[in-house]
Structure 1
Amino acid sequence: MTEAVRDPVLFDATLRPHRSLGRRGFLLVMAAVAGGGFLIGTGFFLAGAWPVAGFCGLEILLVYIAFKMNFREGRRAEHLRLTPDGLDVTHIAPNGKQGTLRFEPTWLSVQMDDPPRHDSRLTLRSHGKQLEIGAFLQPFEKLEVAEALRAALVRYRETPAF
Protein backbone atom coordinates (compact mmCIF):
# COMPACT_ATOMS: atom_id res chain seq x y z
CA MET A 1 0.00 0.00 0.00
CA THR A 2 1.42 3.40 -0.91
CA GLU A 3 2.01 6.18 1.60
CA ALA A 4 -0.54 8.46 -0.10
CA VAL A 5 -3.35 5.91 0.28
CA ARG A 6 -2.41 4.94 3.81
CA ASP A 7 -1.88 8.47 5.11
CA PRO A 8 -4.23 11.03 3.48
CA VAL A 9 -3.42 14.68 4.01
CA LEU A 10 -6.35 16.63 5.46
CA PHE A 11 -4.56 19.98 5.69
CA ASP A 12 -1.27 21.15 4.25
CA ALA A 13 -0.12 24.77 4.38
CA THR A 14 3.16 26.64 4.42
CA LEU A 15 3.15 30.04 6.11
CA ARG A 16 5.76 32.58 5.02
CA PRO A 17 6.29 36.26 5.86
CA HIS A 18 5.16 38.60 3.12
CA ARG A 19 7.92 40.39 1.23
CA SER A 20 6.78 42.99 -1.27
CA LEU A 21 10.20 43.90 -2.60
CA GLY A 22 11.69 41.43 -5.05
CA ARG A 23 15.27 41.19 -6.29
CA ARG A 24 14.74 43.66 -9.14
CA GLY A 25 13.08 46.18 -6.82
CA PHE A 26 15.91 45.78 -4.32
CA LEU A 27 18.48 46.52 -7.02
CA LEU A 28 16.55 49.61 -8.13
CA VAL A 29 16.21 50.94 -4.57
CA MET A 30 19.88 50.30 -3.83
CA ALA A 31 20.89 52.02 -7.10
CA ALA A 32 18.79 55.07 -6.14
CA VAL A 33 20.19 55.15 -2.58
CA ALA A 34 23.76 54.68 -3.78
CA GLY A 35 23.35 57.28 -6.53
CA GLY A 36 21.84 59.81 -4.17
CA GLY A 37 24.46 59.16 -1.51
CA PHE A 38 27.24 59.46 -4.08
CA LEU A 39 25.92 62.79 -5.38
CA ILE A 40 25.48 64.21 -1.89
CA GLY A 41 28.88 62.92 -0.76
CA THR A 42 30.58 64.33 -3.86
CA GLY A 43 28.93 67.70 -3.31
CA PHE A 44 30.15 67.90 0.27
CA PHE A 45 33.60 66.62 -0.71
CA LEU A 46 33.95 69.35 -3.34
CA ALA A 47 32.76 71.95 -0.82
CA GLY A 48 35.60 70.93 1.51
CA ALA A 49 33.55 68.89 3.97
CA TRP A 50 35.20 65.63 2.99
CA PRO A 51 34.24 63.66 6.17
CA VAL A 52 30.58 63.88 5.11
CA ALA A 53 31.40 61.76 2.03
CA GLY A 54 32.49 58.91 4.31
CA PHE A 55 29.25 59.12 6.27
CA CYS A 56 27.28 58.99 3.02
CA GLY A 57 29.09 55.76 2.17
CA LEU A 58 28.36 54.42 5.64
CA GLU A 59 24.65 55.22 5.23
CA ILE A 60 24.56 53.30 1.95
CA LEU A 61 26.22 50.33 3.64
CA LEU A 62 23.74 50.42 6.54
CA VAL A 63 20.75 50.50 4.17
CA TYR A 64 22.21 47.50 2.30
CA ILE A 65 22.74 45.56 5.56
CA ALA A 66 19.19 46.36 6.73
CA PHE A 67 17.72 45.05 3.47
CA LYS A 68 19.83 41.89 3.62
CA MET A 69 18.71 41.23 7.21
CA ASN A 70 15.10 41.73 6.12
CA PHE A 71 15.48 39.30 3.20
CA ARG A 72 17.16 36.75 5.47
CA GLU A 73 14.23 36.95 7.90
CA GLY A 74 11.91 36.38 4.93
CA ARG A 75 13.26 32.82 4.63
CA ARG A 76 11.43 31.94 7.86
CA ALA A 77 8.51 29.55 7.34
CA GLU A 78 6.07 27.31 9.18
CA HIS A 79 4.65 24.18 7.60
CA LEU A 80 1.41 22.69 8.94
CA ARG A 81 0.40 19.17 7.87
CA LEU A 82 -2.63 17.35 9.26
CA THR A 83 -2.89 13.60 8.69
CA PRO A 84 -4.67 10.86 10.64
CA ASP A 85 -1.41 10.47 12.59
CA GLY A 86 -1.46 14.03 13.88
CA LEU A 87 -0.77 17.66 13.14
CA ASP A 88 2.90 18.31 12.45
CA VAL A 89 4.08 21.91 12.75
CA THR A 90 7.54 22.39 11.28
CA HIS A 91 9.37 25.66 11.96
CA ILE A 92 12.03 26.60 9.43
CA ALA A 93 14.44 29.25 10.73
CA PRO A 94 16.10 31.80 8.42
CA ASN A 95 19.33 29.80 8.66
CA GLY A 96 17.55 26.67 7.40
CA LYS A 97 17.34 24.80 10.73
CA GLN A 98 14.08 22.94 11.25
CA GLY A 99 12.15 21.79 14.27
CA THR A 100 8.90 19.82 14.31
CA LEU A 101 6.23 19.62 16.97
CA ARG A 102 3.38 17.09 16.75
CA PHE A 103 -0.10 17.62 18.14
CA GLU A 104 -2.84 15.04 18.69
CA PRO A 105 -5.70 16.46 16.56
CA THR A 106 -8.53 14.85 18.51
CA TRP A 107 -8.08 17.29 21.38
CA LEU A 108 -6.48 20.15 19.46
CA SER A 109 -7.98 23.59 19.85
CA VAL A 110 -7.26 26.47 17.47
CA GLN A 111 -7.60 29.83 19.21
CA MET A 112 -7.86 33.14 17.39
CA ASP A 113 -9.79 36.37 17.96
CA ASP A 114 -12.72 36.91 15.59
CA PRO A 115 -12.77 39.64 14.46
CA PRO A 116 -8.99 39.77 14.52
CA ARG A 117 -7.16 42.65 16.15
CA HIS A 118 -3.64 43.88 15.51
CA ASP A 119 -2.32 42.01 18.57
CA SER A 120 -4.30 38.79 17.93
CA ARG A 121 -2.39 35.55 18.28
CA LEU A 122 -3.08 32.29 16.46
CA THR A 123 -2.49 29.57 19.03
CA LEU A 124 -2.67 25.78 18.94
CA ARG A 125 -3.37 23.99 22.24
CA SER A 126 -3.53 20.32 23.09
CA HIS A 127 -2.65 18.28 26.17
CA GLY A 128 -0.82 21.09 27.92
CA LYS A 129 1.19 22.05 24.86
CA GLN A 130 0.71 25.50 23.41
CA LEU A 131 2.24 26.96 20.26
CA GLU A 132 1.79 30.30 18.55
CA ILE A 133 1.96 30.04 14.78
CA GLY A 134 2.01 32.64 12.03
CA ALA A 135 3.24 35.48 14.25
CA PHE A 136 4.53 37.19 11.10
CA LEU A 137 1.11 37.12 9.37
CA GLN A 138 -1.40 39.95 9.20
CA PRO A 139 -4.44 39.54 11.50
CA PHE A 140 -6.83 38.70 8.63
CA GLU A 141 -4.36 36.10 7.33
CA LYS A 142 -4.16 34.49 10.78
CA LEU A 143 -7.95 34.28 10.84
CA GLU A 144 -8.00 32.60 7.41
CA VAL A 145 -5.48 30.00 8.59
CA ALA A 146 -7.43 29.45 11.82
CA GLU A 147 -10.71 28.91 9.96
CA ALA A 148 -9.14 26.55 7.41
CA LEU A 149 -7.42 24.54 10.14
CA ARG A 150 -10.63 24.34 12.20
CA ALA A 151 -12.50 23.06 9.13
CA ALA A 152 -9.80 20.42 8.57
CA LEU A 153 -10.04 19.35 12.21
CA VAL A 154 -13.81 18.95 11.86
CA ARG A 155 -13.22 16.70 8.81
CA TYR A 156 -10.62 14.76 10.81
CA ARG A 157 -13.01 14.21 13.71
CA GLU A 158 -15.87 13.16 11.40
CA THR A 159 -13.72 10.67 9.48
CA PRO A 160 -13.91 7.07 10.68
CA ALA A 161 -10.69 5.60 12.11
CA PHE A 162 -8.23 4.47 9.45
Structure 2
Amino acid sequence: MNDLELLNVEIRPHRSLSDRGFIILISIITAIHCVTAAVFLSMGATLVPFFLGLDVLAIIVAFAVSFASARRIERVVVTESRVRLIEETPRRRVLVWEGPTAFTHLSAETEDDRIVDLRLSVSGRDVPVGRALGPKAREELKRRLEAALQQARRPRALAW
Protein backbone atom coordinates (compact mmCIF):
# COMPACT_ATOMS: atom_id res chain seq x y z
CA MET A 1 0.00 0.00 0.00
CA ASN A 2 1.31 3.40 -0.97
CA ASP A 3 1.10 5.76 2.03
CA LEU A 4 0.37 9.32 0.89
CA GLU A 5 2.39 11.99 2.71
CA LEU A 6 0.08 14.78 3.91
CA LEU A 7 2.56 16.93 5.84
CA ASN A 8 6.34 17.06 6.13
CA VAL A 9 7.51 19.92 8.36
CA GLU A 10 11.15 20.66 9.12
CA ILE A 11 11.75 22.62 12.35
CA ARG A 12 15.15 24.28 12.70
CA PRO A 13 16.26 26.26 15.75
CA HIS A 14 16.99 29.91 15.01
CA ARG A 15 20.36 31.36 15.92
CA SER A 16 20.90 35.05 15.33
CA LEU A 17 24.71 34.93 15.36
CA SER A 18 26.29 33.90 12.06
CA ASP A 19 29.70 32.24 11.70
CA ARG A 20 31.19 35.57 10.63
CA GLY A 21 29.56 37.32 13.62
CA PHE A 22 31.01 34.66 15.92
CA ILE A 23 34.53 35.24 14.58
CA ILE A 24 34.16 39.00 15.04
CA LEU A 25 32.81 38.58 18.58
CA ILE A 26 35.58 36.15 19.61
CA SER A 27 38.20 38.49 18.07
CA ILE A 28 36.91 41.41 20.13
CA ILE A 29 36.75 39.35 23.32
CA THR A 30 40.26 38.00 22.70
CA ALA A 31 41.63 41.49 22.07
CA ILE A 32 40.07 42.82 25.28
CA HIS A 33 41.41 39.85 27.23
CA CYS A 34 44.92 40.34 25.74
CA VAL A 35 44.97 44.00 26.80
CA THR A 36 43.70 43.04 30.25
CA ALA A 37 46.32 40.28 30.50
CA ALA A 38 49.10 42.74 29.53
CA VAL A 39 47.97 45.15 32.28
CA PHE A 40 47.97 42.40 34.88
CA LEU A 41 51.35 41.05 33.69
CA SER A 42 52.84 44.54 34.06
CA MET A 43 51.61 44.56 37.67
CA GLY A 44 53.23 41.17 38.31
CA ALA A 45 50.09 39.02 38.36
CA THR A 46 51.33 36.11 36.23
CA LEU A 47 48.36 33.75 36.73
CA VAL A 48 45.67 36.18 35.53
CA PRO A 49 46.47 35.75 31.78
CA PHE A 50 46.09 31.99 32.20
CA PHE A 51 42.59 32.41 33.64
CA LEU A 52 41.67 34.96 30.98
CA GLY A 53 42.70 32.37 28.36
CA LEU A 54 40.48 29.80 30.08
CA ASP A 55 37.66 32.34 29.95
CA VAL A 56 38.04 32.73 26.17
CA LEU A 57 38.18 28.94 25.80
CA ALA A 58 34.97 28.54 27.85
CA ILE A 59 33.18 31.08 25.64
CA ILE A 60 34.30 29.24 22.49
CA VAL A 61 33.09 25.90 23.91
CA ALA A 62 29.71 27.42 24.86
CA PHE A 63 29.23 28.77 21.34
CA ALA A 64 30.32 25.44 19.82
CA VAL A 65 27.62 23.66 21.85
CA SER A 66 25.06 26.26 20.75
CA PHE A 67 26.02 25.90 17.08
CA ALA A 68 25.82 22.09 17.37
CA SER A 69 22.28 22.30 18.76
CA ALA A 70 21.36 24.65 15.89
CA ARG A 71 22.18 21.87 13.41
CA ARG A 72 19.61 19.55 15.03
CA ILE A 73 16.44 19.35 12.92
CA GLU A 74 13.07 18.17 14.16
CA ARG A 75 10.90 16.73 11.36
CA VAL A 76 7.18 15.98 11.70
CA VAL A 77 5.78 13.69 9.01
CA VAL A 78 2.07 12.95 8.74
CA THR A 79 0.97 10.27 6.30
CA GLU A 80 -2.41 8.63 5.79
CA SER A 81 -1.58 5.95 8.35
CA ARG A 82 1.29 7.22 10.58
CA VAL A 83 2.57 10.29 12.39
CA ARG A 84 6.33 10.37 12.89
CA LEU A 85 8.62 12.70 14.80
CA ILE A 86 12.19 12.39 13.54
CA GLU A 87 15.32 14.07 14.89
CA GLU A 88 18.04 14.69 12.32
CA THR A 89 21.62 15.78 12.81
CA PRO A 90 24.35 15.95 10.17
CA ARG A 91 25.50 12.47 11.30
CA ARG A 92 22.30 10.56 12.07
CA ARG A 93 18.55 10.34 11.75
CA VAL A 94 16.53 8.97 14.69
CA LEU A 95 12.82 8.15 14.90
CA VAL A 96 11.82 9.74 18.21
CA TRP A 97 8.10 9.00 18.20
CA GLU A 98 5.56 7.25 15.97
CA GLY A 99 1.84 6.67 16.20
CA PRO A 100 -1.15 5.79 14.04
CA THR A 101 -2.80 8.83 12.49
CA ALA A 102 -6.28 7.70 13.47
CA PHE A 103 -5.50 7.73 17.21
CA THR A 104 -2.91 10.50 17.46
CA HIS A 105 -4.03 13.46 19.53
CA LEU A 106 -2.54 16.96 19.33
CA SER A 107 -2.71 19.01 22.52
CA ALA A 108 -1.63 22.55 23.20
CA GLU A 109 -0.93 24.25 26.52
CA THR A 110 -1.63 27.97 26.39
CA GLU A 111 -0.61 30.83 28.59
CA ASP A 112 -1.97 34.35 27.99
CA ASP A 113 -3.45 33.22 24.64
CA ARG A 114 -0.05 31.98 23.46
CA ILE A 115 0.89 28.35 22.89
CA VAL A 116 3.75 27.44 25.21
CA ASP A 117 3.71 23.65 24.72
CA LEU A 118 2.54 21.51 21.82
CA ARG A 119 2.37 17.72 22.22
CA LEU A 120 1.54 14.69 20.11
CA SER A 121 0.12 11.77 22.08
CA VAL A 122 -1.30 8.28 21.62
CA SER A 123 -2.03 5.57 24.22
CA GLY A 124 -0.55 7.54 27.10
CA ARG A 125 2.74 8.20 25.29
CA ASP A 126 3.36 11.80 24.39
CA VAL A 127 6.16 13.88 22.97
CA PRO A 128 6.69 17.64 22.74
CA VAL A 129 6.86 19.04 19.23
CA GLY A 130 8.08 22.41 17.96
CA ARG A 131 10.08 23.35 21.06
CA ALA A 132 12.46 25.48 18.97
CA LEU A 133 9.60 27.62 17.65
CA GLY A 134 8.21 30.85 18.97
CA PRO A 135 4.54 31.18 19.97
CA LYS A 136 3.32 32.43 16.57
CA ALA A 137 5.20 29.72 14.65
CA ARG A 138 3.89 27.12 17.14
CA GLU A 139 0.35 28.33 16.42
CA GLU A 140 0.96 27.87 12.68
CA LEU A 141 2.42 24.39 13.29
CA LYS A 142 -0.64 23.47 15.37
CA ARG A 143 -2.97 24.66 12.60
CA ARG A 144 -1.08 22.68 9.93
CA LEU A 145 -0.86 19.52 12.06
CA GLU A 146 -4.57 19.63 12.90
CA ALA A 147 -5.43 20.06 9.20
CA ALA A 148 -3.19 17.12 8.20
CA LEU A 149 -4.61 14.87 10.95
CA GLN A 150 -8.14 15.84 9.92
CA GLN A 151 -7.38 15.09 6.28
CA ALA A 152 -5.86 11.71 7.19
CA ARG A 153 -8.94 10.72 9.20
CA ARG A 154 -11.36 11.56 6.37
CA PRO A 155 -12.87 8.47 4.79
CA ARG A 156 -11.50 7.81 1.34
CA ALA A 157 -13.29 6.23 -1.58
CA LEU A 158 -12.08 2.77 -2.46
CA ALA A 159 -10.45 2.46 -5.87
CA TRP A 160 -11.46 -0.76 -7.60
**Alignment partner of 1:153 is 2:149:** yes
> In structure 2, do the counterparts of structure 1 residues 98 and 161 end up closer, same or farther at CA, with 3 Å as the change threshold?
farther
Partners of 1:112 and 1:143 within 8 A in 2 = no
Of the structure 1 ranges 89-98 and 123-132, higher mean CA displacement relative to structure 2 is found in 89-98
**Alignment partner of 1:133 is 2:129:** yes
Partners of 1:78 and 1:134 within 8 A in 2 = yes
Long gaps (5+) in structure 2: none
Cα drift, residue 93 of structure 1: 5.6
Q: d(CA) in 1 for partners of 2:144 and 2:76?
A: 11
Q: d(CA) in 2 for partners of 1:37 and 1:95?
A: 35
**Any idea what SS the aligned residue of 2:39 has?**
helix
Long gaps (5+) in structure 1: none
Cα drift, residue 97 of structure 1: 5.2
Quote the residue 1:39 is aligned against: 35
**Any idea what SS the aligned residue of 1:18 has?**
coil
The runs of at least 4 consecutive aligned structure 1 residues that moved more than 6 Å come to: none
Q: d(CA) in 1 for partners of 2:61 and 2:82?
A: 41
Of the structure 1 ranges 152-161 and 53-62, higher mean CA displacement relative to structure 2 is found in 152-161
Name the aligned partner's letter for residue 74 of structure 1.
A
RMSD, aligned CA: 2.2
What is the aligned-residue identity percentage? 26
* Structure 1 length-normalised TM: 0.84
**Alignment partner of 1:99 is 2:95:** yes
Partners of 2:81 and 2:102 within 8 A in 1 = no
Cα drift, residue 147 of structure 1: 1.3
Name the aligned partner's letter for residue 11 of structure 1.
L
Name the aligned partner's letter for residue 86 of structure 1.
R
* Structure 2 length-normalised TM: 0.85
Larger strand percent:
2
Quote the residue 1:80 is aligned against: 76
> In structure 2, do the counterparts of structure 1 residues 116 and 90 end up closer, same or farther at CA, with 3 Å as the change threshold?
same
> In structure 2, do the counterparts of structure 1 residues 161 and 100 end up closer, same or farther at CA, with 3 Å as the change threshold?
farther
**Alignment partner of 1:58 is 2:54:** yes
